[in-house]
Amino acid sequence: MYLQILAALQYCHSQCITHRDIKLENILLDDRYNVKLIDFGFSTKIPNEKKVKIFCGTPSYMAPEIVEKKEYSGPPADIWASGVLLYALLCGNFPYKGTTDEELYAKICACSPRLPDHLS
């Protein structure tokens, strides 16, 4: 399943489309367990190398550069979110947690997730 998510992102990025809201809720499976990427409401179609300063997405999945409100290229932000998604699929929770958005953002910017013992 995860490889299909990456393949969908690769296709989107090859078309200069950045999703900007990769998360579990935006991944569907059809009756043959094929991945369907949905909800392109935050997506953009701009050259992949062009940097933007768009603050959007779901907080737990946001890349550090988005959280820090810096300019960033879209595809790496999607890849970051897909890594958070993989962590959540393997561990059953998010790599970064906070009681407030500010606390969550500080942990995301520190970039030091802790793997559960069974994955270490």
Mind telling me the catalytic residues? 21
Continuous segment of H or E residues that includes residue 86:
helix 74-91
Rounded Cα distance, 23 and 40, in Å: 12
What sign does the CA torsion over 104, 105, 106, 112 have? positive
